[in-house]
Amino acid sequence: MSETKKFLFVNRKAPYGTIYAWESLEVILISAAFEQDVSLVFIDDGVFQIAKGQDTTELGIKNFSPTYNALGDYDVNKIYIEKESLDARGLTVDDLLKLTYEDEDDDWAEKDSIHVVSSAELVDIMDQQDVVLSF
Amino acid sequence: MPMLHTVNKSPFERGALESCIRLAIKGSSVLLIEDGVYGASRGTAASNMVENAMKDLDFYVLGSDLKARGVDENRLIDGITVIDYSGFVKLAVENDKVQAWL
Amino acid sequence: MGIEVNGKTLETDEEGYLTNLNEWVPEVAGIMAKLDDTELNENHWEVINFLREYYEEYQIAPAVRVLTKAIGKKLGKDKGNSKYLYELFPYGPGKQACKYAGLPKPTGCV
């Protein structure tokens, strides 16, 4: 693959009730491994995927929330969270995982990957993509 | 006759909790499990509905499902009881009937 | 399929990866390497241990590009390049080292 495309993954489902969140994460990692330009959006119940403090020990299933911390290593550092979705669920950015990346093109500093945006801003972000994949 | 209702869907995505609250007979118990546990948090788009329903219904939430999802118990609506799996079994035994809202 | 380790048979998939990563013990790496006619030295072990730590923290086996970069950060630039890693693991640092480390095949590996 020589051509780089702008991929947007739209995540709308809570993490454990269905398989969508994990499937999305796997496809995200594969796309990023092929050096595509990947952005993520978390809206609706998708914001629950990156809630901090998840502990699935008592359910006996895999807790994949630590994997979101690896996204920075995969150069996935454009992660947009819809403010309206957070508000409806009584959440703020402090309730989410702190996802960062190391800025290799600039000063190698740790920078935040997460951007809380309004619905209006999200309209523009979605409009700029070549491929939109919805989970 | 009062009975046990279980709800396993997020109130933000499906109408299961809303329908359960609308149709459950007074004095019944509502147990939130799986993605249903998101309905137990304060200060959400669904919390008014649950708080109003608590006048007529007893609400329970499964602790293991809260933990898995990173929902801290201190953010729950006051008056919702956190239970474990044996509490779930006890509720099921105490009630003659169980209805699962899927 | 399976491999014999300390008198126990550990189940593996059709490509030789451990089915249950909790069954991994250090001997697994040596036995799998022997099947590939490889003798493990401390340079191999550096990578294997790194992969196990990476999995512990992130719950995934990293893609080769990510592994290379992360090794460079942790063990130095002379080790964080594909030439060095392919010399150690000629079947592919992702595939081969992950297998020895008891991890699943890296996500995105075909």
Q: What tens-digit pLDDT sequence spans chain B (102 residues)?
A: 999 999 999 999 999 999 999 999 999 999 999 999 999 999 999 999 999 999 999 999 999 999 999 999 999 999 999 999 999 999 999 999 999 999
Residues 6+ apart with CB under 8 A from C37: none
What are the residues of chain A with a beta carbon less than 8 Å away from any beta carbon of chain C?
Answer: 26, 29-30, 32-35, 62-64, 66-67, 69-70, 73-74
Write b or e for each residue in A58-77: b if 16 or more Cβ atoms lie within 10 A of its Cβ, otherwise e. ebeeebbbbbbbbbbbbbbb
Has C98 been annotated as catalytic?
A: no
Q: How many helices, marked H, and strands, marked E, lie in chain B? A: 4, 5
Per residue in A57-89, pLDDT (tens digit) is: 999 999 999 999 999 999 999 999 999 999 999
What architecture does CATH give domain B4-101? 3-Layer(aba) Sandwich (3.40)
Q: What is the pLDDT of residue A77?
A: 95
pLDDT of residue C109: 59
- pLDDT greater than 60 at residue C110: no
Helix, strand or coil, per DSSP, at residue C15: coil
For residues B30-57, one letter each, b for 16 or more C-beta atoms within 10 angstroms of the residue's C-beta and e for the rest, the string is bbbbbbbbbbbbeebebbeebeebeeeb
Q: What is the pLDDT of residue C108?
A: 60
The DSSP element (H or E) to which B5 belongs, if any, is strand B4-7
The amino acid at residue C62 is P
Q: What is the mean pLDDT of the segment spanning C47-74?
A: 93
CATH superfamily label, A6-134: DsrEFH-like (3.40.1260.10)
- pLDDT band (50, 70, 90) for residue A108: confident
Residue from A62, A73, A75, A110 to probe the interface with C (highest C Cβ count within 10 Å):
A73
Residue at token pair 């401390």: C42
Q: Taking the domains of chain A in order of start, what are their residue ranges?
A: 6-134
Contact assignment for B13 to A44 by CB distance below 8 Å: yes
CA–CA distance, A45 with A85 (Å, rounded to integer):
8
- In which element (H, E) is residue B94 found? helix B85-94
- List the CATH code of the domain at C2-100: 1.10.10.370
Chains C and B physically touch (3 or more Cβ atom pairs below 8 Å): no
Are the CB atoms for B24 and B5 separated by under 8 Å? yes
Q: pLDDT tens-digit profile of C16-36?
A: 999 999 999 999 999 999 999
Note the ipTM here: 0.92
The pLDDT value given to residue A106: 82
